[in-house]
Amino acid sequence: MKKIITAALMAALVSAGAVVYAAGTPIQNRQEGDLKVDLNYGFNQKMGHHDAKSQFSGGDVTYALNDKVDIQYDNNNTKIDGGSAKVNEHAVRAIYHINPYISAFGGATRVDVKNGYRDHYYGGQVGLEGQVPIANKVTGFGSVGIGDDVNTYEIGVGYNFTDNLDAHIKYRRDDVDVNNYDDDVKGWQVGVGYKF
């Protein structure tokens, strides 16, 4: 029960601060009841052809329901450098682990856009994510998500300091297509993850 309350609290804090999206290193040695939080810092990012600010911009909160299914809240927040335009993406999704290397996911999305106006859009996204051990304590990971408002692509590598603590670096690209914004958001993110 404590883990569920902690997950709800973390999701609320993350939503309020618009800090989290885009999974980090997948949960290692996952077991029912595991709760993992990833926080990312975005750098060398772009909104279309414009530079975006280096800032906290990605991560996730993931809860392992059982040996095959996770529930995850994600948020990716990107703000243009020197201006007020921003794209803030939210997703709540279920992840089904097909095997230790491949998972399928699906869920609901919300995209908030501020670009001289403010608007938000609701949609859905489905996709696949994978992970593969590269060396002792090193894991490669990637995902592809296809949706009606956002298509997401990411690839990265993570290092597990312990079963509970990891660090990662990844490249992420989101193709956002909503009424008043049709462009990409892309760049590098570094982050840390902790499994409770």
Distance CA 196, CA 187 (A): 28
Kind plus residue range of the DSSP H or E element containing 3: helix 2-17
What domains appear along the chain, each with residue ranges and CATH number?
A: 2-195 (2.40.128.90)
Task: Tokens for 23, please give them.
Answer: 């999974």
| Band of pLDDT at residue 84, cut at 50, 70 and 90 | confident
The beta strands (E) that lie in 30-85 are given as 35-47, 50-51, 55-64, 69-79
pLDDT higher than threshold 70 for residue 25: no
Give the mean model confidence (pLDDT) for residues 136-152. 93
* Contact (Cβ atoms closer than 8 angstroms) between residue 73 and residue 92: yes
* Angle 112-5-59 from CA coordinates, rounded to 5°: 40
Entry pTM: 0.81
Which of 6-15, 35-44, 55-64, 158-167 shows the lowest per-residue confidence on average (mean pLDDT)? Answer: 6-15
